[in-house]
Structure 1
Amino acid sequence: MSDAAETDQLKYKRVLLKISGEALMGDQGFGLNPPTVEKIAAEIETVVRMGAEVCLVIGGGNIFRGLQGSAQGMERTTADYMGMLATVMNALAMQGALESLGVHSRVISAIPMDQVCEPYIRRRAVRHLEKKRVCIFAAGTGNPYFTTDTAAALRASEMRCEAIFKGTQVDGIYDKDPQTNSDAVRYDTVSFDEVLQKNLKVMDASAIALARDNNLPIVVFSLMKGAGLMGTLKGEGTFTTVGGN
């Protein structure tokens, strides 16, 4: 099958994949689990080979979470900056896994640290995507009090992505936690306003509002089970779409 034919199978051609830091832990309680990082990288490699343009935002909760640090008495701004640095560590780990598969990638940080990654320059990042390089956006927005969810919505808007793909432990959005409630009901589609009104725990309110204002659908799917990233990009498998009407 030609590259053009493979690309035509994809419902979305340019997407931002949002992954929590906890997703990189695997079965561990802390830190990075290399086999898990490699598995996620392999999923990304598959869709890049099919012609998709992919950028990533990875949280830092597997290493340090600013809100938790703040709750334990640390000054909030300092705690948030520590969380941003944790996302850079995760981004570098993902870059290493992607490069080992032959996928060209760039770690782009909102906090300049020229010896390890590029500073964020929008036009340069867009050019990387056009060249089929995976852009891994690190350090959130570069500002305290903003989550990586908000950073994902911001970068996806700036990169003119067609959708945000949020990889989670479950196959969509439910009215309650399906892992503890057997009667939980999954949504196939849901509006941005409904997510906010029902507090459906997809992304934080700032991220949802930013995605809504930019008409940027959010696709919530299981990263490790079911159709995975490739199947979801084709519109296959089980997932929930927020907005997109």
Structure 2
Amino acid sequence: MATIERYAAFTDDPAGGNPAGVVRDAQGLDDAGMLKIAAEVGYSETAFLTEHRGDGRYRVRFFSPLAEVPFCGHATVATAVALGPGEHVFTTNAGDVPVTVDTAGWAMLTSVAPSVADLAPGDLEALLDVLRWRPDDLDPELPPRVAYAGAHHPVLAAASRQRLADLDYDFDGLKALMEARGWTTIQLVFRTGADSFDVRNPFPVGGVVEDPATGAAAAALGGYLRALRIVGDDAVVHLRQGDDLGRPSRLTVRLLPGEAGVRVSGKAVPLPA
């Protein structure tokens, strides 16, 4: 029988961060078995190590309660911390993701190469409609885009912190739109400083109203900020997430000159049994 470990990622407090399940002995599980466990655990994602390849390399798959996702940042951080200090490489459905863990339980992942694209015609209007936002709710300095760093996330910037706080969307409508477009979460942001953002992430396709911390979307946002030259090629960006849910989470995004991937770091701690 699979052993399920539980961690909170992007926090040093079990009451904060985003909970993730970790199953290290998933070699004998099929897709239905992994989905069943993820649904029973009930977190936004559970990570399954389906193959141990030696030298710190693992095949890792991620399941929400409703479906498999190609890459999940917070479950990556949780899994790496569960494995312990050192260098790990996770082969995910999106590609190889190196993760470094220190002795204090801090993990830093490096995403696959990000990309940024325009929203297809009509998609912005449809997205605003199901979010119950208006065009003038958007920050004109941060144009809407779809960003990718292992999973696809539309990035919408709110013109005010109050707009970000008042999240009340059409769950079924957004879920249907996301499923049709292949989007994993929606990255809603408000810029609080030159190198800082408050962020929220609706995740109805996973059966979750909102993610308290979303490492994959953080990596995608880093790629977005670099591609649109909102920050430089050498930048550190600080994200606050989960405060509106009562589960404060802190994510650090690092961009390095000449490095294609985006680094995302944070701490993870075990949850009480």
TM-score > 0.5 by shorter chain: no
Task: Name the one with the larger strand percent.
Answer: 2
Question: Could you tell me the TM-score, scaled by structure 2's length?
Answer: 0.27
TM-score by length of 1: 0.30
Q: 1 or 2, which has the higher helix percentage?
A: 1
